[in-house]
Amino acid sequence: MTSTHCPLDAKGALARTILCLLVATSCLVPTSAAADAGENFQLLYIYSPDCGACMQFDRDIAPIYPKTDEAERLPITKILFTDWQAGREPLTECASAPVVGTPTFIELKNCMELDRITGYSHAELFWLGLRRMINRIESGG
Protein backbone atom coordinates (compact mmCIF):
# COMPACT_ATOMS: atom_id res chain seq x y z
CA MET A 1 0.00 0.00 0.00
CA THR A 2 1.38 3.41 -0.97
CA SER A 3 1.35 6.42 1.29
CA THR A 4 -0.63 9.49 0.17
CA HIS A 5 0.91 11.93 2.58
CA CYS A 6 4.09 13.95 2.02
CA PRO A 7 7.11 13.12 4.10
CA LEU A 8 7.87 15.77 6.76
CA ASP A 9 11.06 16.99 5.08
CA ALA A 10 9.21 17.55 1.76
CA LYS A 11 6.50 19.56 3.58
CA GLY A 12 9.22 21.55 5.31
CA ALA A 13 10.97 22.30 2.01
CA LEU A 14 7.69 23.39 0.43
CA ALA A 15 6.86 25.59 3.41
CA ARG A 16 10.33 27.19 3.32
CA THR A 17 9.99 27.85 -0.42
CA ILE A 18 6.58 29.48 0.02
CA LEU A 19 7.83 31.57 2.94
CA CYS A 20 10.87 32.73 0.95
CA LEU A 21 8.64 33.73 -1.98
CA LEU A 22 6.27 35.64 0.28
CA VAL A 23 9.11 37.52 1.95
CA ALA A 24 10.80 38.30 -1.37
CA THR A 25 7.65 39.60 -3.05
CA SER A 26 6.57 41.63 -0.02
CA CYS A 27 9.71 43.73 -0.49
CA LEU A 28 8.57 44.66 -3.99
CA VAL A 29 5.35 46.38 -2.88
CA PRO A 30 5.93 49.90 -1.52
CA THR A 31 3.75 50.75 1.46
CA SER A 32 4.09 54.50 1.01
CA ALA A 33 6.04 57.13 -0.88
CA ALA A 34 8.27 57.67 2.14
CA ALA A 35 9.31 54.04 1.95
CA ASP A 36 10.40 54.30 -1.67
CA ALA A 37 14.20 54.14 -1.54
CA GLY A 38 14.45 56.92 1.02
CA GLU A 39 12.97 59.46 -1.38
CA ASN A 40 11.54 62.57 0.19
CA PHE A 41 8.40 63.82 -1.54
CA GLN A 42 6.54 66.86 -0.33
CA LEU A 43 4.05 69.47 -1.44
CA LEU A 44 4.87 73.10 -0.71
CA TYR A 45 1.88 75.40 -0.32
CA ILE A 46 2.99 79.00 -0.78
CA TYR A 47 0.24 81.31 0.40
CA SER A 48 -0.56 84.88 1.36
CA PRO A 49 -2.96 85.67 4.23
CA ASP A 50 -4.82 88.27 2.13
CA CYS A 51 -5.18 86.00 -0.93
CA GLY A 52 -8.82 85.12 -1.60
CA ALA A 53 -7.97 81.87 -3.41
CA CYS A 54 -5.70 80.87 -0.49
CA MET A 55 -8.53 81.52 1.97
CA GLN A 56 -10.85 79.39 -0.16
CA PHE A 57 -8.24 76.58 -0.28
CA ASP A 58 -7.86 76.83 3.51
CA ARG A 59 -11.64 76.37 3.86
CA ASP A 60 -12.13 73.67 1.19
CA ILE A 61 -9.01 71.49 1.33
CA ALA A 62 -6.75 72.29 4.29
CA PRO A 63 -9.00 70.72 6.97
CA ILE A 64 -9.31 67.38 5.15
CA TYR A 65 -5.96 67.07 3.37
CA PRO A 66 -4.02 65.66 6.37
CA LYS A 67 -6.58 62.83 6.62
CA THR A 68 -6.13 61.69 3.00
CA ASP A 69 -3.95 59.04 1.38
CA GLU A 70 -2.49 61.84 -0.72
CA ALA A 71 -1.14 63.54 2.40
CA GLU A 72 0.66 60.34 3.33
CA ARG A 73 2.36 60.23 -0.07
CA LEU A 74 2.80 63.98 -0.47
CA PRO A 75 2.82 65.80 2.90
CA ILE A 76 2.06 69.51 2.68
CA THR A 77 4.24 72.30 4.05
CA LYS A 78 2.61 75.73 4.31
CA ILE A 79 4.97 78.65 3.58
CA LEU A 80 4.21 82.36 3.75
CA PHE A 81 4.79 84.06 0.39
CA THR A 82 6.75 86.95 1.94
CA ASP A 83 9.09 84.46 3.65
CA TRP A 84 9.53 82.68 0.32
CA GLN A 85 10.33 85.90 -1.55
CA ALA A 86 12.76 87.09 1.15
CA GLY A 87 14.64 83.76 1.03
CA ARG A 88 13.85 83.01 4.69
CA GLU A 89 12.62 79.57 3.66
CA PRO A 90 15.43 77.06 2.96
CA LEU A 91 13.26 75.19 0.44
CA THR A 92 13.33 78.24 -1.85
CA GLU A 93 16.44 76.81 -3.50
CA CYS A 94 14.48 73.69 -4.51
CA ALA A 95 12.13 75.53 -6.90
CA SER A 96 13.08 75.55 -10.57
CA ALA A 97 11.19 78.77 -11.32
CA PRO A 98 10.19 81.82 -9.29
CA VAL A 99 6.87 81.86 -7.45
CA VAL A 100 4.97 84.85 -8.81
CA GLY A 101 1.53 84.40 -7.27
CA THR A 102 -0.44 82.66 -4.58
CA PRO A 103 -1.44 80.05 -3.99
CA THR A 104 1.32 78.02 -5.58
CA PHE A 105 1.72 74.30 -4.86
CA ILE A 106 5.13 72.82 -5.67
CA GLU A 107 5.79 69.08 -5.75
CA LEU A 108 9.32 68.28 -4.57
CA LYS A 109 11.35 65.11 -4.63
CA ASN A 110 14.58 65.31 -2.66
CA CYS A 111 14.62 69.13 -3.04
CA MET A 112 14.01 69.02 -6.79
CA GLU A 113 10.86 70.49 -8.30
CA LEU A 114 8.82 67.96 -10.27
CA ASP A 115 5.58 69.83 -10.85
CA ARG A 116 3.50 72.75 -9.68
CA ILE A 117 -0.05 74.02 -9.53
CA THR A 118 -0.48 77.78 -9.68
CA GLY A 119 -3.75 79.17 -8.39
CA TYR A 120 -6.86 77.63 -6.89
CA SER A 121 -10.42 77.99 -8.13
CA HIS A 122 -12.20 74.94 -6.74
CA ALA A 123 -11.54 71.60 -5.08
CA GLU A 124 -12.13 69.43 -8.15
CA LEU A 125 -9.32 71.06 -10.15
CA PHE A 126 -6.94 70.89 -7.18
CA TRP A 127 -7.57 67.14 -6.68
CA LEU A 128 -7.11 66.59 -10.43
CA GLY A 129 -3.73 68.36 -10.41
CA LEU A 130 -2.73 66.53 -7.24
CA ARG A 131 -3.66 63.18 -8.85
CA ARG A 132 -1.21 64.01 -11.67
CA MET A 133 1.50 64.56 -9.04
CA ILE A 134 0.67 61.33 -7.19
CA ASN A 135 0.69 59.39 -10.47
CA ARG A 136 4.24 60.61 -11.08
CA ILE A 137 5.28 59.30 -7.64
CA GLU A 138 3.62 55.94 -8.25
CA SER A 139 5.25 55.58 -11.67
CA GLY A 140 8.72 56.09 -10.24
CA GLY A 141 9.01 59.85 -10.28
Q: pLDDT tens digits for 55-81?
A: 999 999 999 999 999 999 999 999 999
CA dihedral 51, 56, 62, 63 (to 10 degrees): 140
d(CA 55, CA 32): 30
The CATH superfamily of 33-138 is: Glutaredoxin (3.40.30.10)
Tell me what pLDDT residue 88 has: 94
Tell me what pLDDT residue 37 has: 54
pTM beyond cutoff 0.75: no
d(CA 125, CA 140): 23
Q: What are phi and psi of 27, to 5 degrees?
A: -75, -15
**Residues lower than pLDDT 50 in the chain:** 1-36
